[in-house]
Amino acid sequence: MFKYLKRRLLMLIPLLLVVSIIVFSMIHLMPGDPAMIIAGEGASQADIEAVKHKHGLDKPLFVQYFTWLGNIIRGDFGKSLRTGRPISQEIGFRFVNTIKLATLAIVIGSILGLVMGIVSATKRYSFFDNVTMVIAMVGVSITPFYLGLMSILLFSVKLGWLPMMGVESWKGWILPATTLAFRPAAMIARMTRSNMLEILGQDYILSARALGLPNKVVFVKYALRNALNTVVTVIGLQLGLLMGGAVMTETVFSLPGIGRLAVESIKGRDFPSIQVSVLLIALSFVIINLAVDILYAIINPRISYN
């Protein structure tokens, strides 16, 4: 296991390097000149050239890339072209907010999805099963943007139970987290039901029941534990997607997160902020996948890594 972890951690270096090159190249292909945006409307050509020289935007692209990469390795993320503040200050609390939002969403989604999927599998073709699968289908289809707006209209405007925006108190996290959790819950519910039905029909499950083992033991020890292997993968992938895809939820609820920062940076052609935001999201996704692989071995001891 230790050798496997060491190998996977070493693989992070070339992976993040490739991601940084792709992001850097794509961002500089975007239309618009960040120097003109920073200089403001009506700025003279001399002012624009001065801004380019100040921020190093007049240098060749490969020089800009290696300069930026060297600063990142030293822990210097640079300054935002929009605000002039260090990016570490801009991105620190926003990244924490996104982690909180994604974590709350995946916890809520996992609990609801597992419960719905397990109960649906044990009560196949029942009324509860049919209703659950319809809800899951709607959850996969509906967008967080629309669901967030409808949630605000119902629970904030009409009922007045929860705040429309802001995370100053714990109530402010309820609507964003549940909105973001709806789609993962639907995905997990469908996957759990499918896996449980497949495993409950396996020969070893039938043999265990024929030997007289209690249904609870057969269900928990043999069926559920084996079904969780695939479900854990879905949960891990959904958490990674939530880290990068929370931008719509953050925008609807005016939540200061890394996704919303990335959108604001793209609008302002703030290259350094965009690059750091995307790198953090990519790093989070890779670490989550590594954690999922480790959970495989914990859930199923038959899985080993050489």
Backbone phi, psi, residue 125, to 5°: 65, 15
Intervals of the chain under pLDDT 70:
1-2, 4-5, 30-34, 37-41, 166, 244-245, 296-306
Tokens of 55: 């921020």
All domains of the chain in start order, with CATH: 89-299 (1.10.3720.10)
For residue 40, report the phi and psi dihedrals to the nearest 5 degrees. 95, 165
Residues 6 or more apart in contact with residue 50 via CB below 8 angstroms = none
Under 8 Å between Cβ of 143 and 150: no
Residue with tokens 């503040």: 85
Total residues belonging to the chain: 306
Q: Say what the pTM is.
A: 0.78
The angle, 0 to 180 degrees and rounded to 10, between the axes of the packed helices 61-73 and 2-28 is 140
Report the pLDDT value the prediction gives residue 261, as an integer from 0 to 100.
Answer: 82
- In the chain, the percentage of residues whose pLDDT exceeds 70 is 90
